Amino acid sequence: MNSSAKPMVFFIDDDPLSNKFNTMLIRKIHPDVEIKTFTKAEDALNDLKDDNNQKPEVIFLDLNMPVMNGWDFMAEFKKIGLDIEVVVLTSSNDSSDKEKAEKNNQIKDYVVKPLTKNAFTGVVKKFFRSKDEE
Amino acid sequence: MKSGAMQLDKKQVRRESSGMLKIKTIVEEITHAGVSDAIEFEKQYRLKSMNLLCIIGILIIAPYYVIFSMAEFWYPVLIVFLFHLSFLSVIFLNYLKYYSAGNYLLIFGTNMGILGMSYCIGFDSGFHLYFLTGPLFIFWIFDLDQKKLIAYAIALELVFVLLVYLVKYNVKPMYDWNDIGSLDIYYLNMSFNLFLIFLLFYNYTKYYQLLTDSLVQKQKKMEEEVEKRIQSESYTSKLFKDLSVSYKNLEQFSYIVSHNVRSPLSNIKGFLSLYEANSHANQNDQVMESIKESAEHLDEIIMDLNVLLSAKNLLLENKREVCLSDAIQNVGVSLAAEIQASGAIIKEEFSINLNLVTIKTILHSILFNLFQNAIRHCRPDVYPEITVRAEKTEEHTTLIISDNGVGIDLERYNDRVFMLYHTFGENKEGRGIGLFLVRSNVEMLGGRISVESKMNEGTKFIIQFKN
């Protein structure tokens, strides 16, 4: 992998407005972070499967999506076997969703929309720093 | 107090009634000796007829006073008196509720009488004929469960039979019954005995008739009770069903709020955090534009919610008979534009006069949404074809609505087909409301809906209503 490449995050959300907001927020607080947004989880999967593409450091995943929802994505994502952090970013404050997310050990965090500066830096700080230390 | 007053009234009525009725009421009073509601019906009736038989016994025996007095047979007169005494004592013992003592006294008294008569005027007088009725009485006056008491009574009876035969062969009678004159005591006794046997059979017959009547009445009461319980149970289960439907709706509502209402709201919140009051206009314009879009999205969702919630009010309409064919025709009118544009055909495969007892508006909504879905999710290479089949059995009415559209991948979306805001195709027209509304409507009518589908062949919705 190209070590000089900028760190990258994925946003998977069927709501384009939500993706737009997230992009605008990250651009503002971390201008050097690469951002890719997907309105369909399948597209994100295909992107991850392609070895030529740069892998993201973290994936922000919405749960409530048509066709392939967040849980479907997690099941497929597990099969690929990539070591990438997944953070659930959803408008649902439903406790059953939270519990389900906690049980899934590939999901590192559960963030209720909207994403804030504090939440983003809190989530990404650890591995961005560890990346730097390498 | 109240019962005392009622008894007074009864007595007054009795005083006013005629002579015959007076005798009847006196007899009734006597036969009720020892009878109370506390004892079971069977025993009550047995006691009453036992008392009545004692009265009849007294009446039957009474002429012998005259007969024996005229012949100057004084010992037999005494025996007749003892007969009377034992009959009266039996009634009295019953009155005192010494039922078993009364039973034994009846057996003992009558047998002693027979023995005495045989001793005084000889075996040929025919008093021994009463042994024929004795065993019948035993089975009548005792409860069949009192096997021990019955055994003792039969033993007692046998002892007396033995004694009477001993007397017959060993004792010369005190009086010659030919002295009575032209009266044949043997035939008199035989007639009385036959009369008693007939009376006994009449009693048995009447007893079983009354027993049957009371059983029938009891059964009727029980059936009414059961009916009542079933009604209250079905009411409770209906209430429970309504409640669980309401609960489900509430759950769905809370799901909508937590997932769908919050979504544009969180966007608005997010974009507001990006708005910078004193900054250059370029980004703020974008933020404002996005906020406006989110607000519109929110408005749309709240409108949907409104539609879903107001659908519940349709339940206030009354159920009535609706011709399925007419209902389909009406939906066809509502969807005329889409049907024409797509070239869709609606086939009806059921008997022309099939009726449903249902709420018309809800049925319309169900058919409308299913037809619309079928037209919207048609395959591009074929004209949409919707087939409605219906079947009515005694218990259920089943509607099967099938199309030749793209189908739903049920293996994948099985649990999400009827959920709100879940769409399955690439088709952007659907917003995931129709099938949710259909299921909610079917459940409102107390029905069930299930789905079968094959990709690129079509989808089949099966709706079952209870009649």
> Would you say residue B321 lies in a domain?
yes
For chain A, the structural domain boundaries read 8-133
| B337 and B372 inside one domain | yes
The number of angstroms, rounded, from the C-alpha of B344 to the middle of its chain's C-alpha atoms is: 52
Indicate whether B243 pLDDT > 50. yes
| B181 and B195 inside one domain | yes
Question: What's the confidence (pLDDT) of residue B16?
Answer: 53
Residues B370-396 pLDDT 10s: 999 899 888 888 999 999 999 988 888
- Write the DSSP symbol of residue B258: I
**Cα distance between residue B403 and residue B371, in whole Å:** 9
For A40, residues 6+ apart whose C-beta sits below 8 A from its C-beta are A14, A65, A67, A68
Name B401's bridge partners.
B388, B461
Question: What's the confidence (pLDDT) of residue A48?
Answer: 93
Question: What's the confidence (pLDDT) of residue B460?
Answer: 94
**Closest chain B residue to A27 measured between Cα atoms?**
B274
Chain A residues near residue B270 by CB distance under 8 angstroms: 18, 21-22, 25, 113-116
**Averaged pLDDT for residues B343-351:** 91
Residues B33-92 pLDDT 10s: 888 877 887 788 888 888 888 898 899 889 889 888 888 888 889 999 999 999 999 999
Kindly report the backbone phi and psi dihedral angles of residue B370, in degrees, each rounded to the nearest multiple of 5, phi listed first: -65, -45
Locate B178 and state its tokens: 């030919």
| B43 and B137 inside one domain | yes
Residues B149-192 pLDDT 10s: 899 999 999 999 999 889 888 888 888 877 777 778 888 888 88
Question: What's the confidence (pLDDT) of residue B6?
Answer: 47
DSSP string, B336-396: HHHHHHHT-EEEEES-TT-EEEE-HHHHHHHHHHHHHHHHHT--TTS--EEEEEEEE-SSE
**Cα distance between residue B163 and residue B171, in whole Å:** 11
| Residue B146 CB neighbours (<10 A) | 14
CATH of domain A8-133: 3.40.50.2300
Candidate from B2-16, B76-90, B165-179, B208-222 with smallest mean pLDDT = B2-16
The residue ranking higher by pLDDT, A29 or B225, is: B225
Chain A contact present for B193, CB below 8 A: no
Question: What's the confidence (pLDDT) of residue A120?
Answer: 87
Which of B313, B342, B365 corresponds to the end of one domain? B313
> Would you say residue B239 lies in a domain?
no
Question: What's the confidence (pLDDT) of residue B210?
Answer: 84
**Cα distance between residue B338 and residue B17, in whole Å:** 90
Rounded to two decimals, the ipTM of the complex is 0.82
> Would you say residue B232 lies in a domain?
no
Percent of chain B predicted with pLDDT > 90: 20
> Would you say residue B231 lies in a domain?
no
Question: What's the confidence (pLDDT) of residue A77?
Answer: 93
For B194, residues 6+ apart whose C-beta sits below 8 A from its C-beta are none
Question: What's the confidence (pLDDT) of residue B427?
Answer: 56
Q: Where are the alpha helices (DSSP H) in B17-40?
A: 19-31
Indicate whether B340 pLDDT > 50. yes
- Sort strands B385-392 and B345-349 into parallel, antiparallel or unpaired: parallel
Residues B254-306 pLDDT 10s: 777 777 788 888 989 898 888 887 766 677 888 888 999 899 888 888 887 77
Determine whether the interchain pair B290/A21 forms a contact, defined as Cβ–Cβ distance below 8 Å.
yes
> Would you say residue B123 lies in a domain?
yes
**Averaged pLDDT for residues B2-31:** 64
Asked whether B183 and B137 are in contact (CB, 8 A), the reply is: no
Domain with B309 in it: what CATH number?
1.10.287
Determine whether the interchain pair B287/A24 forms a contact, defined as Cβ–Cβ distance below 8 Å.
yes
- The total of structural domains in chain B comes to 3
- Sort strands B458-466 and B396-403 into parallel, antiparallel or unpaired: antiparallel
> Would you say residue B61 lies in a domain?
yes
A70 Cα to chain B: minimum distance (Å): 13
Indicate whether B207 pLDDT > 70. yes
Chain B residues near residue A21 by CB distance under 8 angstroms: 267, 270-271, 274, 290
Mean pLDDT of chain B: 84
* Nearest CA among B418, B330, B429, B424 for reference residue B375: B429
| B457 and B379 inside one domain | yes
Which of B296, B313, B330 corresponds to the end of one domain? B313
Residue with tokens 């909508």: B256
User: How does residue B434 score in pLDDT terms, banded at 50, 70 and 90?
Assistant: confident
- Per the structure, the complete domain to which residue B355 belongs is given by 317-466
| Residue A81 CB neighbours (<10 A) | 6
A95 Cα to chain B: minimum distance (Å): 10
Question: What's the confidence (pLDDT) of residue A56?
Answer: 92
Candidate from A100-114, B219-233, B428-442 with smallest mean pLDDT = B428-442
- Write the DSSP symbol of residue B184: -
**Averaged pLDDT for residues B104-115:** 89
DSSP string, B290-319: HHHHHHHHHHHHHHHHHHHHHHGGGGGSPP
Contacts with B, A 83-122, CB within 8 Å = 91-94, 112-116
Give pLDDT < 50 ranges for chain A.
Answer: 1-3, 130-134
DSSP string, A16-71: HHHHHHHHHHHHHH-TT-EEEEESSHHHHHHHHH-TTSPPPSEEEE-S--SSS-HH
> Would you say residue B296 lies in a domain?
yes
**Cα distance between residue A114 and residue B267, in whole Å:** 6
| B79 and B202 inside one domain | yes
> Would you say residue B307 lies in a domain?
yes
| B220 and B336 inside one domain | no
- Sort strands A58-61 and A107-112 into parallel, antiparallel or unpaired: unpaired
| B299 and B171 inside one domain | no
| B58 and B202 inside one domain | yes
Question: What's the confidence (pLDDT) of residue B464?
Answer: 92
Question: What's the confidence (pLDDT) of residue A4?
Answer: 54
**Averaged pLDDT for residues B211-240:** 89
Contacts with A, B 427-466, CB within 8 Å = 432
Locate B307 and state its tokens: 């539609």
One-letter amino acid for residue B363 of the chain? L
Determine whether the interchain pair A113/B262 forms a contact, defined as Cβ–Cβ distance below 8 Å.
yes
Q: B9-23 burial string, b = 16+ CB within 10 Å, else e?
A: eeeeeeeeeeeeeee
